[in-house]
Amino acid sequence: MRQAGVYSGMVSGGRTGPHLLPLARIKKIMKKSGDNVKMISGEAPIVFSKACELFIEELTRRSWMVAMQGKRRTLHKDDVATAIVATDIFDFLVDLVSSGNSINPLDFSPVEMETVLES
């Protein structure tokens, strides 16, 4: 029988479950986000572990829609870049994906872009 994780089994159905993303790593990244990040409460990485799941799911969903639009079955970096450029709240990621080979959103007509991303 699988060893119950610290949080699973305590809550009915174990729905909080063991975390999918390692808390120590999250905390490390948080600390690196600025020189002046001093102390981090124990719960903050917990919130992030779930938030990052949601984030990955949303980014993946949007990227996949771009790939489907191109009738492809393999998700490429370009698809991710396109989804990022087309999503307002992902503006902070634009520089991350813009080095070199990102798709120019002007290549898509506004109607196509709407179609790709509506859901």
Partner 1 sequence: MERGVGFHRYRRHAKSSSASTMVLPNDSNNNTTCNGDQQAPPPPPPPPCMVREQDQYMPIANVIRIMRRILPSHAKISDDAKETIQECVSEYISFITGEANERCQREQRKTVTAEDVLWAMGKLGFDDYIEPLTVYLNRYREAENERNTSHGDQLLFLKRGMEINHHGPIGMPPPYGSGYPMGHFSGMLDAAAAMGGGGYYRDLAGSGASSTAQNALASFDPFVQFK
Identify which of residues 30 and 117 has a Cβ nearer to partner 1 in the complex. 30
The nearer residue to partner 1, 95 or 111, going by C-beta atoms, is 95
Q: Does 37 bind partner 1 (CB under 8 A)?
A: yes
Please, which residue, 65 or 113, has the CB nearer to partner 1?
Answer: 65
Which of 2, 74, 109, 119: binder of partner 1 (CB under 8 A)?
Answer: 74
Other beta carbons within 10 Å of 81? 23
DSSP bridge pairs for 11: 8
From 81, 86, 103, 113, residue interacting with partner 1 (rule: CB under 8 A): 81
CA dist., res. 80 & res. 64, Å (int): 8
How many angstroms separate the Cα of 71 from the Cα of each of 23, 28, 46, 83? 37, 39, 37, 15
Interface with partner 1 includes 23 (CB under 8 A)?
no
